[in-house]
Amino acid sequence: MNELWASRNTAFEKTISASTPRPSDTDIIHNLILSRLPTLDQPLAKAAAHHFNNPGKMLRTTMAMRGAHVLNVSLPAATRWAAAVEVLHNASLIHDDICDGDKQRRGHQAVWTKFGRNVALTLGDWLIALSFELAAEAAEITNTPRLLRILAKHMSRTTAGEAMEFEWNGNLSWDAYLTIAADKTAPLLTAPIQGIAVMIGDYQAEAIISRYFRDLGEAYQIANDISNYNGSDGAKLIAGDLARRAPNAVTLSFIDGLTKDEKARFNDWYHSGGTDDLVSWQAHILNSDAMKAASNRMFATLDRATHHASDLSAEISEVVTPVHGLIMRACATASKNGAA
């Protein structure tokens, strides 16, 4: 480790080495993020503290840190990489809430509803900068500048997925939906493990991990879509995707089951953008086989992901297996709630 990093014996790292019992990986990364947020005398401090008061599931942190432990990656580097991906994910959530008009995030007011859109926008931008700063620190510790390229690539793809959704013109096709779903969800699920693989020099695993998490991300997005319709996604409005004409696997599954005349009638209403008959169409969809059809597609996608996972090394497989299990449980929960 170079002199710069040898000298950065921060209070955070002292906490890691001195804590008894050792805090969990998620606690460590959460504390690292909190230590790098604006202080109370700086702009955005209150908004940042509000958002990170509840850090969420921290799935990406869990993935990166498990990989670091299994593959013996430098913990100072791994913690910064995990924090970088987690911070970038949270920046995307803050921006998403503005774009989607969602007023709640993790059981509390979204940043934009409490502090205003301008503060939320600038906080999201500030967090993106922090994310790259943390990734640069991880890259310098391990002499793997490729980490920055990975983070930039996944940020670009996630942003492209979001932009494609904004430009969604009501063209109700599975091809468009699957591109949006994968680009929105997969990149920041892929990044934690890809970064760990790069830090140990396993570049061959990068492509396999990318394909694997693209399918896993698609399945996870379909699970979220099902949850949107059954009201278990935490959003205030049940089937809010239908109201705002957002791409949703349940909506597309519903259309697949319509007759030609029914499809024309639904498309006319959908393209009108109006809210008349919204409740009626919601009821039609919930009383159809659309939720079941979306679930079937979701589980078929999970099967594809499992096939890709068989090409991973035993060490990488050990890392992703718990994540696969978490997403499988999320999909199973969404499917169960959808059938209720």
70: tokens are 């299994």
17: tokens are 């080495």
CB atoms within 10 A of CB 287: 9
Q: Are 168 and 114 in contact (CB under 8 A)?
A: no
Q: Are 224 and 233 in contact (CB under 8 A)?
A: yes
Distance spanning both ends of the chain, measured CA to CA:
55
Q: Where in the chain is the domain with CATH 1.10.600.10?
A: 1-143
CA angle, 282 then 283 then 288, to 5°: 100
Among the listed residues 335, 320, 308, 242, the one whose alpha carbon sits nearest the alpha carbon of residue 66: 320
Q: What is the pLDDT of residue 169?
A: 63
Is residue 104 within a helix (H) or strand (E), and if so which, with residue range?
strand 104-105
In angstroms, the CA 183 to CA 179 distance is: 6
Consecutive 10-residue averages of pLDDT for the chain (340 residues): 36 38 84 96 96 92 92 95 97 92 91 97 98 98 95 90 73 80 82 92 82 88 90 69 88 94 92 89 93 94 88 84 84 79
- C-alpha dihedral, 159 to 163 to 166 to 171, nearest 10°: -120
Q: What is the pLDDT of residue 237?
A: 67
Q: What is the pLDDT of residue 73?
A: 94
What predicted TM-score, i.e. pTM, was given to this entire model? 0.77
In angstroms, the CA 301 to CA 294 distance is: 11
In angstroms, the CA 275 to CA 266 distance is: 13
CA angle, 110 then 115 then 118, to 5°: 100
303: tokens are 């099967």
From residue 118, alpha-carbon distances to 94, 123, 124, 126 in Å are: 11, 8, 10, 12
Write down the CATH number for the domain with range 1-143: 1.10.600.10
Beta bridge partners of 84: none
Among the listed residues 241, 217, 231, the one whose alpha carbon sits nearest the alpha carbon of residue 298: 217
DSSP string, 41-91: TSTTHHHHHHHHTS----HHHHHHHHHHHHHT--HHHHHHHHHHHHHHHHH
Q: What is the pLDDT of residue 105?
A: 93
